[in-house]
Structure 1
Amino acid sequence: MDIKRTIDRIPGGLMLAPLLLGALCKTFAPGAPAYFKGFTQGIMTGVLPILAVWFFCMGASIRLSATGTVLRKSGTLVLTKLLSAWVIVLVASQFVPVEGIQTGFFAGLSILAIVCAMDMTNGGLYASLMQTYGTREEAGAFVLTSIESGPLMSMIILGASGAAHFEPQIFLGAVLPFLVGFVLGNLDPKLREFFAPGGHLMIPFFAFALGNTIDLGTLLSPLAGLGVVLALAVIVLTGIPLILADKVIGRGTGTAGLAASSTAGAAAANPVAIAAVAPQFAPSAQTATVLVAVCVIVTSIVVPILTGLWYKQFGGGVVEREREQDPAPAPLHLAPVD
């Protein structure tokens, strides 16, 4: 059976196929991890440790001379995402009440749902797509996305920053594996050569574990239709500015910008967290959680497909030339997009 070739023919298939497999496990056999326990439970529920190893390997693969490129691309994507979310919320707040819309097709839509869906990029999804469709530097540009993690940025955008605080150790903990890998890879080229292939190898394992956090039953919720509309709005309204910023400021092909136009899985926890410290959002917290969860599912599926199609149309030749010019040892073996 030519499974690998079939997966390679699907845009984002190396990420998408195991993610859907994990989501099917979560939906139809949610008790499987607890039943099997041991190593099976670890691989089905181990998103964070798998990500830690993955980010370490990516850090080890990036040369010191590329640091400026990584920070420029990372900062560009993060700032563009946050500014886009701020503008969207600013406009939406003129039409959507704090407690949310109560009637019609848009019943349940709230400012809380909009900001939580818009302002957080799925860093793991972005990094995996860039391992396949981008350069090492573009893959490493996830490094600043941890700034978006948690409710802090959402609360700042909502104008409630006085009710929250940012703990520096959380940010440090998010980037430490990457930094350790980066240091070791630059101190010893042989370590870079040893760890670099791990970044590509870990993609399906991370995707499967991530899929095991997604219940496809969420799509059967009465709010599913509105959630799909919100998810598509996230891709369009943040994706267009991200593509432009990646091309103009990041000097990329736009592929990295489109790959960052997703909703992070952790964003689904933000409505309740924000409502806990800002009671004015409590009435809309439950529906916002459902809408954001749908956004996570839809963008996790749609963004890899769109990114693969964009890369095939606009980015392939440029990225391949950059890879050919990269003298780094043991370059990653990247699957072609047919």
Structure 2
Amino acid sequence: MKIKEAIDRVPGGMMLIPLLIGALIRTFFPGIFDTPEFKSSFTGGLLTGTSALLAAFYICLGSTIRFQSTGYILKKGVSLWIGKIATAFIIALLIKHIFPDQNHLFLGLSALAIIAAFSDTNGGLYMALMGQLGKKAEDVAAYSIMSLESGPFFTMLILGVAGLASFPVLAFVFAILPLVVGMILGNLDEKMREFLSKGQDVIIPLFSLSIGAGINLTNVVKAGISGIILGIGVVVITGLVLFIIDRVTGGDGVAGVAASSTAGNAAAVPVAVAAIYSGYSQIAATATLQVTAAVIVTAILTPLLTTWFAKRAEKRNVSHVSLSENHDMK
């Protein structure tokens, strides 16, 4: 049986399908979660151990982030990273001042879902697109800076600074600590980087199963519709902002459009944030579904939009070169 190939055909399948399996278990067998036998078992630990699994994932993820970067990588990565975070922060400020109830906005979207979706880029998608369409290898490597978005830290920081949530200082420290530990280990020892980086792919379906086990599918239709809108919003708004930033910093805009997506691990952020700030505990499950839907939508739209922009940029460059050659001949 070609199980993995079938899963890989689904956009974000390695996260989405285990999440769906966990949600089916929670929806149709909710009683087992309250039994002593389940709680004390390895199965119970797997289906309810979201925090531990996420901590392990962030250590593995952190090991792939390099401290050193060339000037071009630093400029490209930092500009796109700041653009993404700044856009999410401005949206958070607008939510704070326009909507009195930040937990239930347009079509059931919450501030938690919106900021989680807007503040994290799908690194695998970005690197794949820039590997095919980018002009320099450094365009791909720029994600080494952008990967700092990963995890709940910046979502918490944006929500806290914008006044949409309140977190103790130690909460920020403990939220980013696994990522920092992974970064230190990966940068001190290349063998540790190679060893830990392999763990990402294995842990993703495991924490997805655990996250799904906390979701009741009775809300899935509503969350799906709002999640689609959320995904479109991420592509349109961050795509435009990052396109402009990329052009201003000397690029052709393609890298900016390629970063207009939501990372698969962003679906884990609502649960992680709600574990620290109880004000979001009631909407964490719905926010997870919405962000997951946004991941899928951006995984489809971002490549289409990036390819279109890349073709336009290539035609523009060809025209410019032709004009220059004609001018030189004269």
Superposition TM-score, scaled by structure 1 size: 0.65
For residues 100-129 of structure 1, give each alpha carbon's deviation from its aligned partner in whole angstroms, at most 9, with x where no partner exists.
9xxxxxxx7579965344233488xx57x5
1:63 aligned counterpart, secondary structure: coil
Partner of 1:16: 16
Query: Is 1:23–1:213's contact at 8 Å kept on the other side of the alignment?
Result: yes
Measured on the aligned residues, the alpha-carbon RMSD in Å equals 4.0
Q: Among all aligned residue pairs of Structure 1 and Structure 2, give the percentage whose two residues are the same amino acid.
A: 26
Of the candidates 115, 121, 131, which is equivalent to residue 119 of structure 1? 115
Q: Distance in 2 between matches of 1:11 and 1:117?
A: 20
Query: Is 1:268–1:293's contact at 8 Å kept on the other side of the alignment?
Result: no
Of the candidates 314, 319, 325, which is equivalent to residue 306 of structure 2? 314
Query: Is 1:131–1:200's contact at 8 Å kept on the other side of the alignment?
Result: no
Partner of 1:5: 5
Work out whether 1:296 is the aligned partner of 2:292. no
Partner of 2:53: 50
Is there any run of 5+ residues in structure 1 with no aligned partner, and where? 101-107, 275-285, 319-338
- Number of aligned residues: 277
- Structure with the largest fraction of helix: 2
Measure how far apart 1:205 and its partner are. Answer: 1.0
Query: Is 1:89–1:114's contact at 8 Å kept on the other side of the alignment?
Result: no
For residues 143-175 of structure 1, give each alpha carbon's deviation from its aligned partner in whole angstroms, at most 9, with x where no partner exists.
4751322xx754754xx57xx754221111111
| Residues 305/273 of structure 1: CA separation in 2 closer, same or farther (3 Å cut) | closer
The more displaced of 302-311 and 191-200 is 302-311
Work out whether 1:273 is the aligned partner of 2:276. no
Measure how far apart 1:176 and its partner are. Answer: 0.9
Q: Distance in 2 between matches of 1:3 and 1:53?
A: 25
1:184 aligned counterpart, secondary structure: helix
Partner of 2:198: 197
Q: Distance in 1 between matches of 2:160 and 2:68?
A: 36
- Which amino acid letter does the alignment assign opposite residue 298 of structure 2? L
Query: Is 1:80–1:242's contact at 8 Å kept on the other side of the alignment?
Result: yes
Summarize the alignment of residues 176-215 of structure 1 with structure 2, pairs less than 5 Å apart: 176-215=177-216
The more displaced of 232-241 and 19-28 is 232-241
Summarize the alignment of residues 1-338 of structure 1 with structure 2, pairs less than 5 Å apart: 1-33=1-33, 34=35, 35-36=37-38, 37-66=40-69, 68=74, 72-87=79-94, 90=97, 92-93=98-99, 98=100, 114-121=110-117, 129-131=122-124, 134=127, 137=144, 140-143=147-150, 145-149=152-156, 153-154=158-159, 157=162, 165-219=166-220, 224=222, 230-249=226-245, 252=255, 254-259=257-262, 264-266=269-271, 273=279, 293-308=285-300, 310-311=302-303, 314=306
Superposition TM-score, scaled by structure 2 size: 0.67
For residues 169-213 of structure 1, give each alpha carbon's deviation from its aligned partner in whole angstroms, at most 9, with x where no partner exists.
111111111111111111111111211111222111121111112
Measure how far apart 1:88 and its partner are. Answer: 5.5
Measure how far apart 1:258 and its partner are. Answer: 1.6
Is there any run of 5+ residues in structure 2 with no aligned partner, and where? 128-139, 311-330
| Residues 113/202 of structure 1: CA separation in 2 closer, same or farther (3 Å cut) | closer
Query: Is 2:260–2:298's contact at 8 Å kept on the other side of the alignment?
Result: no
Q: Distance in 2 between matches of 1:154 and 1:112?
A: 18
| Residues 259/139 of structure 1: CA separation in 2 closer, same or farther (3 Å cut) | same
